[in-house]
Amino acid sequence: MSASPRLDTVLCGIRMAAPVLAASGTFAYGIEMDGLVDWPWVGGIIVKGLSREPMEGNPPPRLWETESGMMNAIGLQNIGVRAFVREKLPRLTALKVPVFANVFGSEVSDYAEVIRVLEAHEGIAGYELNVSCPNTRHGGVQFGADPALLGEVVAEARRCARRPLIVKLSPNVARIQPLAQAAESAGADAVSLINTIVALAIDARTRRPRIANGTGGLSGPAIKPVALRMVWEAARAVKIPVIGLGGIATGEDAAEFLIAGASAVEVGTASFFDPSSVSRVARELDRFLAVEHIGHVRDLVGTLDMGQSRK
């Protein structure tokens, strides 16, 4: 049951209470947030990225607060897909919120194996592929930076998955349209964007990076204008739904992404300073619709007026 009929959403055939989801990597495995969010307002959870085997991640320091944002180099630390289905999934199912598994690997076969394990269990609504990972068979080139490699991993995931498949695109490319189109052509049901932007923070006194890994991924309000532009470009390039993320911290932020062409949004970095952000953003979006006399959230999608016909 939706908290507000204005927000009822169907994404890739999945009915959700709102077009607002918790982004992967910012909401742990979901169960840790029980008691902090108002679940009837949450459209879905995208869990922490899952790999074939457990990963310890990068050494600390792994986080740095920047002006209007945050950098991280966690290194995709996770318990591995088998431990996830054994220890986390049963408790996630009890939350009665659609759960999407974020999947990653360094080879196409890694993605396929993680999905095969998940396919054998109930309680997963769909998958989000993190393609910002280096393909070790192709010299470390990221899947998300090469349309051919992207198409290869999406096609293999599509062969393994009976559930909806979302592809999370990297912004660290010259043009987002060819990547979004490659994902669509290979069988993706939706694309989500943007992932973090590669960045560097320096301590001027020590003359060393603020993060042990050197570079890290920049997220938060600082990247929102870039994310909006890429969501707008991707939505014009493909027919499948686009899910927008990158600096969303308020209901009006969410509305901007929907106007740019997104069918749904993900809330990420905001959850670090306010763990209730995903449900709060949904509430604020509902209030925005009421104030603006908009009957349903779908009426916002793709309504951007670029003013190109004005003189």
Catalytic residue numbers? 133
* Phi-psi region at 11: left, alpha or beta (left = phi > 0; alpha = psi -120 to 50): beta
Task: Please tell me the distance from the alpha carbon of residue 132 to that of residue 272, in angstroms, as a whole number.
Answer: 22
Please give the Cα distance from 25 to 217 (Å, whole number): 12
The Cα–Cα gap between 47 and 148 comes to 27
State both tokens at 23: 């982004």
3-state DSSP helix/strand/coil percent for the chain, to nearest 5? 35, 20, 45
Contact 190, 44 (CB under 8 A): no
C-alpha span between 129 and 170 (Å, rounded): 11
Phi, psi of 59 (to 5 degrees): -70, 155
Q: 152: part of which helix (H) or strand (E)?
A: helix 147-160
- Give dist(CA 258, CA 244) in Å, integer: 8
Is the peptide bond prior to 176 cis by the omega test (within 30 degrees of 0)? no
Judge whether 233 and 241 are in contact, CB under 8 Å: no
In degrees and rounded to multiples of 5, residue 240 shows phi and psi of -80, 160
**How many angstroms separate the first and last alpha carbons of the chain?**
47
- CA-closest candidate to residue 143, choices 179, 100, 113, 184: 179
